[in-house]
Chains A and B, each alone.
Chain A
């Protein structure tokens, strides 16, 4: 079957000089950065990197794909209509969205509860605020409000505030009283139109289309049927054979390009399904879905979030689960790529070993360190051996298991904590460290065994001497919450590390083993680096 690769070249209004080194304009980057640099009155970031800024970037670039990629606008319009009915004062909207406090669910919850009697058609509960219209109802959860606040700020400041008035006019229309869900939808559509123009103007899609087409063409040339296949060797071959290196000169760029390529096919399949089944709205009888539900569905399938990012936020951030250099840094990339590192296990190991070498060469060139340093790096003599990398993962897995025990102790020891652990470790709280060892099922673990587990967990907790592991945390709700969040992340980390180590072991147990693979790859990378950088001064 012939697939036409028609490039959708979009008209760029910006001068080329405005394009940053990526495909986004300097304007877009500066406007996004205005929010990523924003601080609260204490100097802490106003918006959390994840999920808020990550979510905002996804929205701006339309990365979630599908017909409803602007569903956040629908939510935002609902929230503004709700505020118009609840919040007092002529600048209530600015005060709500542009205040100098951290954009956090708890802050928005307190603000909304502070408005007092919500009046007819509005109900407030612990999860969020709900509005009833003539033709339906809609709820906005507090947890979504930080993203919606960032989106509000981004929209009104977009294009150097050129869009402020038209966007404000849409919002003012909601202030005058949105009588129906239809009114909200119309407002969201008006905003969508502005956003579409912004994306066309500030994202140079042709650059990304070229990358996609290069990978697709390469894959299709290696197959005779209508299937394309991605594996470790494909990634390496693509990098090595890419003569007009350009965007794909750097192995890391190639690896990430393939990861995004895989995601795009997988998300494309899902958005197809969404397109068939879901219309945004609240007519559940007609199988309409709320935007949040739909977003959750899309992201849960392939939008892996690094557990380390989870540990870096909120209550968990106050607990030193990992030492930055020795315990966190070695697994950062594995946690970042998550399931894709598993699926491209050898390609990932190559990235871990030779990526730093190439980064060093690039840096040498940028700072003009001289040929001697580059020539040393080109040999790849300093690359991490694969077995050493895997051994590093094993050591950190041991540490993760210790942390799980400590978390288990915190979550089962504090007053009123009984039952916490169930939601964290699934139906079998001890599976993550104890039953796995014994190969027992929960039903077979009797009270004595549980007591033994608890004692072991307590001993581990007491042995860890670092911030957040003091006895006093058992009395502090915030820190217990930090361990609750942390425990979930630790379970995800353990699973990923276990699976990756198992895959690496399988490679090592069959010829060529990891040592042989490393030797062969080192020769390949050294040769490629010689081609790319051998003559560069």
Chain B
């Protein structure tokens, strides 16, 4: 038999508080391994996505970026710290049809394709010698708009993509509110 001497109300209150903590801890540990609960997005998933790593949670992250403002804000912060190049929002006076976006040590331009009229080239130039070649381009538009695309190999500091003129990437690049991060 185990006996406890009750001394005062504080002893009871302390024990009650610890009991609640222990019971809640057991519940959390048990429920987190159950099959009927879905995991939230983990910061490590966001970070892996920002770095362009293959991550099983990528689709979950991408969906969260389009639905959750706090997750977008956190992702923006992680990108700001981790990305190698940043193209800020364009000046408010810029026209709607921006074909060139510039940031520190990088430049992104859109050029028509003569061979395929419905397509355009997106040319990413790194203007600082010796820069690390980025692998992925993140486009963060106004509101909940987000797009990520893999970048091809860089040659002499230049990589180019060919995309449909109506593609989301072009829409976003031409929107002055879109920020671009290269990582």
Please give the residue numbers on chain A whose beta carbons come within 8 Å of chain B beta carbons, in ascending order.
Answer: 1, 3-5, 8, 20-24, 26-39, 46, 53-54, 57-58, 60-65, 69, 90-91, 93-95, 97-100, 152-153, 156-157, 159-162, 164-165, 168, 203, 205, 208-209, 211-213, 216, 220, 226-231, 256-257, 260-265, 267-269, 271-272, 343
Contact = CB atoms under 8 A, between A and B. Distances in A.
A231 B1 contact: yes
A23 B40 contact: no
Given A20-B37, A60-B28, A61-B24, A208 B19 contact: yes
A161 B42 contact: no
Interface stretch (B66-74, B87-95, B100-108, B113-121): B66-74
B73 to A, nearest CB: 7
Contacts of B39: 30, 33-34, 36-37
Interface string B16-46: 1111111111111111110001111111111
Contacts of A262: 2
Interface string B52-84: 010110000000000010110110011001100
Contacts of B145: none
26 contacts: A3-B12, A22-B30, A22-B31, A23-B24, A24-B28, A28-B28, A32-B32, A91-B78, A91-B81, A94-B47, A100-B44, A153-B43, A161-B41, A161-B68, A161-B70, A168-B77, A205-B24, A212-B15, A220-B6, A228-B4, A230-B4, A231-B2, A262-B2, A267-B18, A271-B14, A271-B18
Secondary structure call for the B interface = helix
A236 to B, nearest CB: 14
A69 B43 CA distance: 24
B3 interface: yes
B37 A26 contact: yes
A23 B27 CA distance: 8
Contact of A24 (B11, B16, B24, B53): B24
A228 B6 contact: yes
A386 B175 CA distance: 75
B9 interface: yes
Contacts of B21: 58, 61-65, 69
Interface in B127-177: none
Contacts of A91: 78, 81-82
A33 B42 CA distance: 9
A117 B183 CA distance: 28
Given A156-B43, A228-B4, A230-B2, A268 B71 contact: no
Given A22-B28, A29-B28, A164-B74, A208 B23 contact: yes
B63 to A, nearest CB: 13
Given A28-B28, A34-B41, A343 B70 contact: no
Interface residues of B, number: 55
Say whether chain A's binding surface is mostly helix, strand, loop, or mixed. helix
Given A54-B29, A228-B3, A29 B24 contact: no
Contacts of B19: 208, 211-212, 260-261, 263-264
Given A38-B44, A53-B29, A227-B4, 16 more contacts: A21-B31, A26-B37, A34-B45, A61-B22, A94-B47, A94-B82, A98-B43, A100-B55, A160-B40, A165-B73, A227-B5, A230-B1, A230-B3, A260-B26, A264-B15, A268-B18
B15 A98 contact: no
Given A36-B33, A62-B21, A264-B19, A46 B2 contact: no
B48 interface: yes
B74 A161 contact: yes
Contacts of B17: 62, 65, 264
Instruction: Give the interface centre of B1, B3, B4, B19 by most chain A CB atoms within 10 Å.
Output: B19
Given A5-B12, A22-B31, A263 B6 contact: no
A20 B27 CA distance: 10
A61 B5 contact: no
A231 B24 CA distance: 24
A229 B26 CA distance: 24
B105 to A, nearest CB: 15
A464 B33 CA distance: 33
